Amino acid sequence: QVQLVESGGGSVQAGGSLRLSCDASTLMYSRWIGWFRQAPGKEREEVAVVYAAVGSAYYADSVKGRFTLSQDNAKNMLYLQMNSLKPEDTAMYYCAATPGRSRFTRPSGEADFAYWGQGTQVTVAS
């Protein structure tokens, strides 16, 4: 069964750091995988995505230079290192993956992602 399980969320002061983990089971190949977030009252937004096992990550402008997506292919794990956190980073963070897809066809939005985790809450206090 396809499963994505996130962990690592929590509460932190502004300027602090957190590392989110996603256990991607068998989804770390031949697809796009990444992180989304949804703040209360806002639409879900893409944070960072990468073609599983290869390639460079794409980041939302709001997190460039602060967040880093990485992969451990041997462990089927995806990580999001979040530094210099801001109160506006407060959201539920989701790990997501597309169905099998070419690395040359970047997803255009969340509708392209078929598999989702349950989410992990990140709260940044000012």
Mean pLDDT, rounded, for 9-15: 98
Residues 6+ apart with CB under 8 A from 10: 18, 121, 122, 123
Mean pLDDT, rounded, for 16-38: 92
Tell me the three state secondary structure of residue 39. coil
pLDDT 10s digits, 99-109: 988 989 999 99
Measured CA distances, 23 to 18, 65, 68 (Å): 16, 24, 17
Q: How many CA atoms lie within 13 A of 49 on its CB side?
A: 21
Residue 18: predicted pLDDT? 98
Tokens of residue 12, six digits: 């932190």
Residue 1: predicted pLDDT? 64
Closest CA to 71 of 53, 97, 51, 94: 53
Residue 65: predicted pLDDT? 97
pLDDT greater at residue 8 or residue 26: 8
